[in-house]
Amino acid sequence: MSSILIVMGTVMDISKQENKEYDFASSMQPMLGQQNLVKNALQDLALDTHAIEEVMTYAATGIDKHRTIFIDWLASKNIHTAAETLVFTQGAQQGIYTCLQILTHKEDFILHEELAYPGFFRAVDACGLKPLAVPLTKDGLDTEALEHYCQQHRPKVLYITPNMQNPTNIRYTAEVLEKIVALSQQYDFYIIEDDVNYCLPEDWRTPLQQLAADRVFYVSSLSKYVAGGLRIAFTLVPEGWQKEFNLNLHSQCWMVSTINIELASRFLMHESFQYNQELLAQEMRYRQKRFMEFSVKHHLEATEGGLNVWLKLPPQFNMNQLSGYLNSKNIKVRTADLFNHPATTPTKENAIRMALGSFTYREEFDQALTAFESSLLEFISHQQEPVI
């Protein structure tokens, strides 16, 4: 039976797409009208000659009105900060790299979560740093292990994703966060808080930066809420570090382009953006619910969160063998070892991260989940000790 979709006047038959690739690897949000936000902002900008002249003019530290709008938007999310703390970057990756550049020297030790964002590891390697992986518990970082590393190695920086840990979806408890801040003060290291990952509104929590603005560099972006290609990101930089942060940023690029920030400034506080975010939240709730129903059905342990699900595998199923089999079926996933730095102890986690957002239409997601379930059952049927 054909599955017909009519989207913006275009007829699509998604059931007849040959060699269809199901991308559960790329952590991105479905396009549910973000393109219209940008289109409308572009049309609005086209009629504003003064604003066009502003974004065409060199501005070493950006345009003040953009900073004001973003500060107001952050305040609506209960993030309160002074305008001078906010520095725009070309994606959160640049923010992470710049933090490492000003806070560390070559051969310094740097702490990070046992499993972490691979882009962070690229920045670590580019800076010539020595990574130390801190074990994770169900409540966040193992703070006893963290203190042991602090006593042994005197690290300069700790990198964490406490709101929605990437890739495990662990959410740090308040007690763990308070302990991390206390250790930061005691052992004199700074914290890079990466808050790029998408959170559903009901899971949103005020950042650690609000508890310790003098110790935390807060990195965030619109990549997982609007679109990654816009490269709209910012870092909240502690007092006393803003000049050095801006100077280092200036050494990487003469200035961060202001045109994309101008576009975001035109839709961030608009009701159309709020409506778009409500649609995104509704869609991700649906997809998380569907995947969790699938995991319960097959007695698999999964942790939902944001755009992804962390799926733990029974010990008799090797994650890389499963990934290879799925790949032969044009199904892409991310295995746990891809979030492990090669210089640290190999992870004992046997799991895959399933990204649920790359499918624009709900019907495509449902079709992809069905394909994944079918392929997983085929893989299990080849194992000596099936559990399903």
Displacement of CA 387 from its chain's centroid (Å): 33
**Residues near 157 by beta carbon (within 8 Å), at least 6 away in sequence:** 99, 100, 103, 104, 108, 110, 111, 189, 190, 191, 192
| Residue 342 in tokens | 């090669």
The per-residue pLDDT for 231 is 92
Which is more confident, 9 or 138?
138
The number of folded domains in the chain is 2
Same domain, 155 and 289: no
The per-residue pLDDT for 1 is 42
Whether residue 52 lies inside any domain: the answer is: no
Whether residue 42 lies inside any domain: the answer is: no
Same domain, 182 and 244: yes
Same domain, 225 and 292: no
Report the distance separating Cα 10 and Cα 147, nearest Å.
58
Same domain, 116 and 260: yes
Whether residue 301 lies inside any domain: the answer is: yes
Strand pairing report for 109-113 and 86-90: unpaired
Same domain, 214 and 284: no
pTM for the whole structure: 0.91
Same domain, 218 and 266: yes
**Strand (E) or helix (H) holding 243:** helix 242-252
Q: Which of 287, 310, 301, 295 is nearest to 357 (CA)?
A: 287
**Residues near 296 by beta carbon (within 8 Å), at least 6 away in sequence:** none
The per-residue pLDDT for 344 is 87
Q: pLDDT above 90 covers what percent of the chain?
A: 86
Which is more confident, 3 or 256?
256
DSSP letters for 36-58: HHHHHHHHHHHT-HHHHHHHHS-
Strand pairing report for 301-305 and 308-312: antiparallel
Report the distance separating Cα 134 and Cα 112, nearest Å.
6
The per-residue pLDDT for 8 is 38
| Residue 375 in tokens | 């392929």
Note if the bond before 207 is cis, omega within 30 degrees: no
Same domain, 143 and 216: yes
State the burial class of residue 64 (Cβ atoms within 10 Å of its Cβ: 0-12, 13-18, 19+).
exposed
Tell me what the mean pLDDT of segment 372-377 comes to. 96
pLDDT digits (tens, 9 = 90+) for 10-60: 444 545 555 789 999 999 999 999 999 999 999 999 999 999 999 999 888
First to last CA, the chain: 28
pLDDT digits (tens, 9 = 90+) for 75-127: 999 999 999 999 999 999 999 999 999 999 999 999 999 999 999 999 999 99
| Residue 321 in tokens | 């063998």
Question: What angle in degrees, to the nearest 10, is found between the helix axes of 259-267 and 64-76?
Answer: 40
Task: Give me the sign of the Cα torsion angle 51, 57, 59, 60.
Answer: positive
Whether residue 212 lies inside any domain: the answer is: yes
Same domain, 74 and 155: yes
Whether residue 368 lies inside any domain: the answer is: yes
Whether residue 10 lies inside any domain: the answer is: yes
5-9, 214-218, 330-334: range with lowest mean pLDDT: 5-9
Name the domain boundary from 270, 291, 320.
270
Same domain, 154 and 302: no
Residue 269's pLDDT band, with cuts at 50, 70 and 90, is confident
Domain containing 301: what range?
Answer: 4-35+272-381
**For position 154, which CATH number holds?**
3.40.640.10
Q: Which of 38, 89, 212 is nearest to 99 (CA)?
A: 89
Residues in the chain: 388
Name the domain boundary from 235, 270, 305.
270
Name the domain boundary from 248, 270, 292.
270
| Residue 268 in tokens | 């961030």
Whether residue 386 lies inside any domain: the answer is: no
* Ramachandran area for residue 156 (φ above 0: left; ψ -120 to 50: alpha; else beta): alpha
CB atoms within 10 A of CB 179: 18
Same domain, 296 and 240: no
Whether residue 48 lies inside any domain: the answer is: no
**Residues near 117 by beta carbon (within 8 Å), at least 6 away in sequence:** 161, 166, 194, 339
Same domain, 184 and 113: yes
Average pLDDT, the chain: 92
Task: Give me the sign of the Cα torsion angle 86, 90, 92, 96.
Answer: negative
**For position 276, which CATH number holds?**
3.90.1150.10
Q: Which residues pair with 6 in a beta bridge?
A: 11
Same domain, 280 and 255: no
pLDDT digits (tens, 9 = 90+) for 163-187: 999 999 999 999 999 999 999 999 9
The per-residue pLDDT for 61 is 86
State the burial class of residue 137 (Cβ atoms within 10 Å of its Cβ: 0-12, 13-18, 19+).
middle
Report the distance separating Cα 86 and Cα 261, nearest Å.
13
